[in-house]
Amino acid sequence: MDCHICSKPCESFVHTKTSITYYHCNACEYIFKSPKYYQDLQTQKERYNLHQNNEEDADYRAYFQRFLDFVLPYVSGVHTALDFGCGRSSLLAQLLEEEGISCDYYDPIYHPHTLDDSKKYELIVSTEVFEHLHQSKEVFENLLGRLDKGGYLAIQTEFHTNEHLGFQTWWYPQDPTHIVFFRVKTFEVLCETFACKIVAENGKNMVIIQKM
């Protein structure tokens, strides 16, 4: 099977615990689960409904604050933002509002009618979303199209270690809604494809991309 990001041939491997086939691209370091295991939105929603995310919970707020503490120093001067894939909660949008950044929010399951296709943003944030995407390359391109020139796309998703043994003992693929897995290299290839650049990454789970 060819890579969904760079169209290069992938090698396959079978997860020893689940017997699920995954495809690994050595060119852009993207890993994706066999598409036959992708879940529809209703099935995903049933799992997401189990999440106990309380906006008043200090740990939940601190989780988003760590993301903002990484992102905001690199995007100073932005005034408009979109939280893409926010889930049920609009907490991240609220925290951005507290920083003086007007923030819209969208989620295909919980807030499916909030996107204005005519609106552009200076910043788009997306936390723990990209690992769920059936068409991650297409979504990446779509989000860039919603940015002003010079705007930023800040993504949080856990980066895999790029080797099969470690992947099979990693907790992240254990969530059945996690179907695609990234490295910084994957985002570098996406940036080459869509004329943008990485301005910061933490080597673990966060990357900030600027539209050229």
pLDDT in tens, 86-97: 998 899 999 999
The arithmetic mean of pLDDT across residues 3-13, rounded, is 98
Q: How confident is the model at residue 58 (pLDDT cuts 50, 70, 90)?
A: confident
- Min mean pLDDT across 14-23, 34-43, 82-91, 99-108 is at 34-43
- Given a cut of 90, is residue 41 above it in pLDDT? no
Alpha helices in 30-87 (DSSP H): 41-48, 58-71
Output the average pLDDT for the chain: 94
- The angle that helices 91-98 and 58-71 make with each other, rounded to 10 degrees, is 60
Please give the Cα distance from 153 to 173 (Å, whole number).
Answer: 24
For position 52, what pLDDT does the model report? 64
Q: How confident is the model at residue 40 (pLDDT cuts 50, 70, 90)?
A: confident
For position 43, what pLDDT does the model report? 82
For position 54, what pLDDT does the model report? 67
The percent of residues in the chain predicted with pLDDT above 70, rounded, is: 98
Burial class (CB in 10 A: 0-12, 13-18, 19+), 40: exposed
Q: How confident is the model at residue 172 (pLDDT cuts 50, 70, 90)?
A: very high
The arithmetic mean of pLDDT across residues 83-107, rounded, is 96
CB 55 within 8 A of CB 89: yes
Most confident of 37-46, 58-67, 109-118, 121-130: 121-130
**39-211 under CATH 3.40.50.150, yes or no:** yes
Q: Which sequence spans correspond to the domains of the chain?
A: 39-211
- Given a cut of 90, is residue 74 above it in pLDDT? yes
Please give the Cα distance from 3 to 77 (Å, whole number).
Answer: 37
Higher pLDDT, residue 60 or 96: 96
- Min mean pLDDT across 2-11, 25-34, 46-55 is at 46-55
For position 45, what pLDDT does the model report? 78
